Every structure is written in structure tokens, then in C-alpha cells.
Amino acid sequence: MESLLTTASLALSIVLGLSWDQVAIHLLIHVLIEHDRADSNLVWGMMLEEYGFTRHSIPDTCPDCYTIRQFVMDHPKGTYVLATGNHVVALIDGTYYDTLDTGDYIPVYYWKR
């Protein structure tokens, strides 16, 4: 089960209000359906869609200068999941949640509920 605990697992657990075990079970179902890895953007993205999230692009006019910290300042209310390409961060009402300080990471896209 440890391989199912991806960088997305913490973010999904936080924004969906589910335990890590519940997230892992959901991810496993999508892994089997899609024949893909649990850390695939497709797999965890499908789970977010089931819970009413929609995916949005971040304009790349300044791709190396728009950080998670700036995204948080621009989006002080709401529930989001930010993707950096190899990391996933939960954001709820102006606070981002992660196992490390990812404020300087560059988000590529985000999910919003």
C-alpha cells in the first residue's frame, strides 16, 4: 500500500476530508481502471473530478516567477489542489498544506472546487 501514498495523497486527503487509507483505496480503483500509476496526474485527477473539482491552467506568461505563495495571495478563499509537475499541494482558504514549505514552487495548473 505504501506505493499508493503519492505526493498527491496528502493533498487529496486534506481537501477531500478523507483518511490516507480511503485515498489509497480510491487511487487503487483508478489505477486498475486506467492501467496507470497512482502518482499519475490522470489517476488522481480523476478522483478530484469525482468530488466536483475542475482543472484550470495557469498562464505561462511568466513561467518561472508565479509561485505557490503568490497563488495563495491571489486566491485567499476556496479549496484548491496545485500541481507543480512533480508535486501536489493542498490550499484551503489562503493556507497551503504540505509536508515541506513549497511556497517558492512554481504551479503548472490547479484544481478548484
**DSSP strand pairing (54-57 vs 95-97):** unpaired
* Other beta carbons less than 10 A from residue 47's beta carbon: 19
What does pTM read for this prediction? Answer: 0.88
pLDDT at 4 over 60: no
| 42-101 per-position pLDDT tens digit | 899 999 999 999 999 987 777 667 899 999 999 999 999 999 878 899 999 999 998 889
Q: Give me the residue spans of the domains in the chain.
A: 2-112
Beta strands in the chain (DSSP E): 54-57, 79-83, 88-92, 95-97, 109-112
Residues in the chain: 113
